[in-house]
Amino acid sequence: MQIIDGKALGQKIEKNVASQTAELKTQTGRTPGLAVVLVGSDPASQAYVGMKKKACDRAGFYSITHEMPEDISQEAIENTITMMNDNPNIDGILIQLPLPKQIDTTKLLELVAPNKDVDGFHPFNVGRLATGLDGFVPCTPLGVMEMFKEYDIDVKGKNAVVVGASNIVGKPMAALLLNAEATVEVCHIYTDDLKKHTLNADILLVGVGVINLIKEDMVKEGAIVIDIGINRADSGKLVGDVDYDNVAPKTSYITPVPGGVGPMTIAMLLQNTLTAAQIHAKEA
């Protein structure tokens, strides 16, 4: 059993981004710029945005966070996004989810310019991913694919089972695996007999936000297990969706929580923003 160290890989990618950023500044005078929209005072969202800000600073990016009150109007957020779309110093726009109930999230995600959509949530980029074309890909599943690359895990022809069908993780994860020629199955809340499906997985990827959903008897010997879930247990400890202590001995590779997929999400956000800046520098 080998533990996939997302923290070390994330740091490696971050250093590479910082180096390319310095090169971009020298050659073109352009500094990659990331703008974040943060609505309300959700502690998890605030902590996550704070981590993104620190990562931007380390990489040499310009970053700005638009903090808005919980009761903000749809129109006010739309005006801010339009302003960022028009700002030539901003290469990437990120809307921190979830948003308050009065806000139409879909409308906002569609308003972000596709060439600044570093989260990969715009239908334009979703469509390009689904058809195997270049575009911005959601950071978490993209980070998982980078892990496979780093650890020389070839997914071609493997049975990959994705548990969770969200637009942010599950669906783009399935699309990336399919594009890499894995045989892909997607399970979700209405899947009958989840164990029957997970036992067939050479690669099992789980991201639903349920503590210990995946037990030892649901994983076949030698499987690769990628735990994308992040939950806070009653003890205050951060845990994933996999019963790590009991499942890990059966696996060939497994990601821990924390220190697995999490750091890769931010690393890929930096990579996507740098890519956007490089494209914009060429167009200037």
Q: Which residues are catalytic?
A: 52, 96, 119
Both tokens assigned to 46: 């605030």
Residue 190 tokens read as: 């209405």
Contact (CB, 8 A) for 112 and 82? no
Helices (H) and strands (E) in the chain, counts: 10, 11
Encoding tokens for residue 33?
């710029």
- CA separation for the pair 96, 119 (Å, rounded): 10
By CB atoms closer than 10 A (0-12, 13-18, 19+), residue 100 is: middle
Using H for helix, E for strand and C for coil, what is the string for 238-253?
EECCECHHHHHHHCCE
- Amino acid identity at 261: V
Based on the number of CB atoms within 10 Å of its own CB, is 42 exposed (0-12), middle (13-18) or buried (19 or more)? middle
d(CA 81, CA 95): 9
Q: Is 187 helix (H, G, I), strand (E, B) or coil?
A: strand
